[in-house]
Chains A and B, each alone.
Chain A
């Protein structure tokens, strides 16, 4: 039997792009809790433009220049305290920003998740990373690693969870440098987050949850072949079976729930769908049912919400579209193919891989 019964509603790409454009232009004061994660919002919004094939058309040269400048302005040049001295301000960046000495736009220290988001946002904007101090970036990632193998948001913060392990592994993959972290310990940390249900918890001993399960599996599969023999670098067959089973079990009513017995939420279409895709089991989920659920989460004026009838936001908009890009419930949705490990379109992921690892000539 063909599961693709009945045509899916259209994907309102124009509306979703408009929603993201609005968010890029400004957010109301009520969203002040997003203040420290504006880079993530930028990543989701630019990513939505990219996945819908609108990045070229909808971003003017002026926007591109201004946004790129803003992102680089968040690059931590001047450390708050000596222990946070990992990213050095290069003379080239100094010139580029024409500020003489940069005082960061806020007092925030460097943050591993925001670093990941910034690198990918810059890739969408096709920046050349000329201002990036690669050795300093590698040191920063290494400095975030704790003795138990986990990664903190900022060095010494002690708030490790799998989100930062994933971000650290992406940065290592983009830099093509795994020497800056203790890989064996990092893999052991990932393994300790595995739960009896087959998924991964946010931290060791945690309940199986879709987001961390994606982070764990993507991280494992980012480890290059030459390190694949490091213990725990890949799932054992018995683990693979349990994880695929658990991930598929969370599909309920079309969408995916983040945990057993929870209601579906659009974002888990990505976290669970991409995790299955990474495991080579993407064809085992019900793509049509997922597409139908995501379509119902579309807000009438653009944007996608976590569940039907809720208000949209960039996070759920991007992840829903990214999920659809992976499982392709309907070819008419016309989305760019996604790299499930880096979480960017194939072109953008390729751009990031090519340009982050190249050391810029000293100027």
Chain B
């Protein structure tokens, strides 16, 4: 059994002119004399939705309903009722879901920013229970837009919902590739945090510590390449917050980024735990100044004046758009400790 397609390469025939639909009474949309924000529908859309209302009215769930809802979805992929009724119809008539997934590939790629296309996919994958091929499809959609929020949500859902070892296995290399293309892709950074720390099925303490160490090294390496990257600094902070490691453990690293120019590198052995800024990096780095100020603030009374000096430099020079915020941090720290 395969559903007739409403492929838009064939010439459109109105449902009102199709003999096989003659038994359905179309239902026009009720609008009073002055509706709010009426849309001047195309004749194709009006015709199809009139028949859709007619079908829903009599509760018909049949093969031809799949054809009708596909017509509507192709014209308006955000028509949530058509999607919902389509899915109910698929289940009611026990239609094969694999061909539906193939159709969904096309519709998803055509409208990757529409909620409904992804939700439908999720329903299909849940029913089919075979998530493995989905990662490759997802990657293909990300190639067109590496920051599409829906695509990433879908990937995270897939991993968490099915939670299969083979699904998780290649996520880190996959993210590495994306960050090599664009080190400021925050969605990729977020995904890395999700994969590293939010998988939930990891109780091994030693392994957890190894992951923290590995991820700290990764973040610092990326910061060294491009210091002015909020994504990487937020990631570094996120790891420390998550694992309750004090920021001061990273002071040697961060301090290298608050100076005005890259310090000339001697022949001494490179400290792999604390990679220095790459040559030509734009310094000082505001995120590093903020980080060091947090380190000083946490150290208590004696650190406050150093923190204040750093916040002052952000407010006046390095991050003036957040001037009010940095001044608030100064006031707050001084009020808390009673020391300037």
Q: Say yes or no: A70 contacts B80, CB within 8 Å.
A: no
Chain B, range 235-294, C-beta contacts under 8 Å to A: 235, 237-238, 241-242
B147 at the interface (CB under 8 A from A): yes
Q: Which of A63, A106, A246 contacts B34 (CB 8 A)?
A: A63
The smallest C-beta distance from B289 to any residue of chain A, in angstroms, reads 13
- Knowing A36-B81, A158-B123, the reply to whether A105 touches B30 (Cβ < 8 A) is yes
A301 at the interface (CB under 8 A from B): no
The proximity string for A residues 257-299 relative to B, scoring 1 for CB distances below 8 Å and 0 otherwise, is: 0011110000000000000000001011110010000000000
Q: Say yes or no: B81 contacts A109, CB within 8 Å.
A: yes
Bound-state CA distance A32–B39 (Å) is 7
A31 at the interface (CB under 8 A from B): yes
Chain A, range 63-97, C-beta contacts under 8 Å to B: 63, 66-67, 69-71, 73, 80-81
A residues within 8 A CB of B164? none
Q: Say yes or no: B190 contacts A195, CB within 8 Å.
A: yes
**B39 nearest in chain A by CB position:** A27
A207 at the interface (CB under 8 A from B): yes
Bound-state CA distance A176–B225 (Å) is 54
The proximity string for A residues 1-37 relative to B, scoring 1 for CB distances below 8 Å and 0 otherwise, is: 1010000000000000000000111111101111111
Q: Say yes or no: B42 contacts A32, CB within 8 Å.
A: yes
Bound-state CA distance A29–B41 (Å) is 5
Q: Say yes or no: B32 contacts A207, CB within 8 Å.
A: no
Interface residues on A, range: 35 or more
B208 at the interface (CB under 8 A from A): no
Bound-state CA distance A33–B110 (Å) is 13
The smallest C-beta distance from A189 to any residue of chain B, in angstroms, reads 15
The smallest C-beta distance from A281 to any residue of chain B, in angstroms, reads 8
A residues within 8 A CB of B109? none
Q: Say yes or no: A286 contacts B321, CB within 8 Å.
A: yes
Interface residues on B, range: 35 or more
**A65 nearest in chain B by CB position:** B34
**B323 nearest in chain A by CB position:** A3
Q: Which of B29, B79, B149, B157 contacts A209 (CB 8 A)?
A: B149
Bound-state CA distance A38–B80 (Å) is 13
The smallest C-beta distance from B178 to any residue of chain A, in angstroms, reads 13
Binds A, one of B14-22, B45-53, B96-104, B137-145: B45-53
Q: Say yes or no: B324 contacts A3, CB within 8 Å.
A: yes
The smallest C-beta distance from B27 to any residue of chain A, in angstroms, reads 7
A residues within 8 A CB of B301? none
A residues within 8 A CB of B237? 196
**B185 nearest in chain A by CB position:** A261
Q: Say yes or no: B53 contacts A260, CB within 8 Å.
A: no
B residues within 8 A CB of A105? 29-31
Chain B, range 73-91, C-beta contacts under 8 Å to A: 75-81, 84-85
Bound-state CA distance A70–B37 (Å) is 10
- Knowing A67-B34, A69-B32, A159-B119, the reply to whether A108 touches B81 (Cβ < 8 A) is yes
- Knowing A251-B321, A251-B322, the reply to whether A38 touches B230 (Cβ < 8 A) is no
Bound-state CA distance A26–B32 (Å) is 14
Q: Say yes or no: B37 contacts A26, CB within 8 Å.
A: yes
Q: Which of A31, A70, A245 contacts B39 (CB 8 A)?
A: A31
Chain B, range 1-40, C-beta contacts under 8 Å to A: 27, 29-40
- Knowing A70-B32, A202-B153, the reply to whether A106 touches B53 (Cβ < 8 A) is yes
A residues within 8 A CB of B234? 196-197, 246, 249, 260
B305 at the interface (CB under 8 A from A): no
- Knowing A33-B114, A197-B238, A259-B186, the reply to whether A66 touches B37 (Cβ < 8 A) is no
**A249 nearest in chain B by CB position:** B230
A41 at the interface (CB under 8 A from B): yes
Bound-state CA distance A32–B45 (Å) is 9
Q: Say yes or no: B115 contacts A159, CB within 8 Å.
A: yes
A residues within 8 A CB of B299? none
Bound-state CA distance A153–B231 (Å) is 32
**B120 nearest in chain A by CB position:** A159
Bound-state CA distance A243–B253 (Å) is 25
B residues within 8 A CB of A308? none
A227 at the interface (CB under 8 A from B): no
The smallest C-beta distance from B154 to any residue of chain A, in angstroms, reads 10
A residues within 8 A CB of B313? none
A203 at the interface (CB under 8 A from B): yes
A54 at the interface (CB under 8 A from B): no
B residues within 8 A CB of A36? 76, 78-81
A345 at the interface (CB under 8 A from B): no
The smallest C-beta distance from B303 to any residue of chain A, in angstroms, reads 17
B residues within 8 A CB of A337? none
B229 at the interface (CB under 8 A from A): yes
Interface-central residue, B32, B33, B187, B235, by most chain A CB under 10 Å: B32
Q: Which of A34, A66, A207 contacts B190 (CB 8 A)?
A: A207
Q: Which of B56, B76, B149 contacts A32 (CB 8 A)?
A: B76
- Knowing A197-B234, A259-B186, A289-B321, the reply to whether A205 touches B37 (Cβ < 8 A) is no
Given contacts A29-B45, A34-B78, A45-B37, 20 further A-B pairs with CB under 8 A are: A27-B37, A27-B38, A28-B39, A32-B45, A32-B75, A36-B76, A42-B37, A45-B36, A109-B84, A196-B235, A201-B153, A203-B157, A205-B156, A205-B198, A209-B149, A242-B241, A246-B234, A249-B230, A261-B184, A281-B328
Shortest beta-carbon contacts, A-B, top 5? A196-B238, A66-B34, A207-B190, A105-B30, A42-B36
